[in-house]
Amino acid sequence: MPHQLMGYDRAITMFSPDGRLLQVEYAKKTVKQGSTTLGMVCSDGILFVADKRIVDKFVIPESVEKVFEIDEHLGAAASGILSDARVLIERAQVKAQQHRVQFDSEIDSVSVVKEICNLMQICTQSGGLRPFGVSVILGGVDPDGEARLFETDPTGIFFQYKATVIGEGEAEIEEILQKEYNEKITIEEGLGIAMRALNKLLEKRLNLERIEAACIRKSDRKFTKLSPDDIEKALKKK
């Protein structure tokens, strides 16, 4: 670190002379070191694919979760510090259920994204706290029938995407998405693209047990985890 920046990373509320919050930048680097997570808007719904990065052979793969159900029509996936992600996911789940109880209707995806981003932003300007070291890809099929996908980052900002990737190998996989993704692909075709991208990144480390995938189809608007058979089929086509 340049000498002139020394000391400006000691507190989250302290700006460096060139206007940077260094603790927030460190949190964003933590996300880049997390395992790879992708999200896509497909012609027939939303797709989430995540690498669980299981490095210990004694870990039970099913106990590692990176793709989460927020509500029947909403899902999320995360990269970075997964304990931080769990707090944000539970916040989103509570928000979705409160909306159902209060209004007897489903919540829209952007309202859930704003809820978790508000919490993330508070942790960038409050003394004694640290930023969330995680990014979340959240999306679903809204009550109006539109499929929407959002990505948050540790600053508390969010953007809507057609397709996005966070975590390890972000630049390499984004390059593949730029070439192969289009809005007309189906969920099955999107899964194939994701498997080819992960195969290029992980090579011999790629196997069925470390991949988790889920989708929300426009036809039924139900969050569904993809079976090992679906993932294996896409792996064989890679």
**What domains appear along the chain, each with residue ranges and CATH number?**
3-216 (3.60.20.10)
Distance (Å, whole) CA 172 – CA 2: 29
Q: In what helix (H) or strand (E) does residue 158 lie, and over which residues does it extend?
A: strand 158-161
Mean pLDDT of 203-221: 92
What pairs with residue 213 in β-bridges? 49
C-alpha dihedral (132, 164, 67, 180), degrees to nearest 10: -160
Distance (Å, whole) CA 40 – CA 194: 9
Which pLDDT value is given to residue 2?
56
Mean pLDDT computed over every residue of the chain = 93
Are 31 and 134 within 8 A, CB to CB?
yes
Mean pLDDT of 80-94: 97
Chain segment 9-54, per-residue pLDDT in tens: 888 888 988 898 999 999 999 999 999 999 999 999 999 999 999 8
Instruction: Lowest mean pLDDT of 81-85, 88-92, 226-230, name the range.
Output: 226-230
**One-letter amino acid for residue 174 of the chain:** E
Are 125 and 12 within 8 A, CB to CB?
yes
Chain segment 142-163, per-residue pLDDT in tens: 999 999 999 999 999 999 999 9
Are 84 and 136 within 8 A, CB to CB?
no
Which pLDDT value is given to residue 122?
95
Distance (Å, whole) CA 138 – CA 96: 13
Q: What letter would DSSP give residue 13?
A: T
C-alpha dihedral (170, 148, 85, 155), degrees to nearest 10: 70
Cβ count near 79 (within 10 Å): 28
Query: Which long-range contacts (C-beta less than 8 Å, at least 24 apart) are formed by 98-105?
Result: 100/71, 105/143
Which pLDDT value is given to residue 54?
86
Which pLDDT value is given to residue 6?
63
Mean pLDDT of 96-122: 97
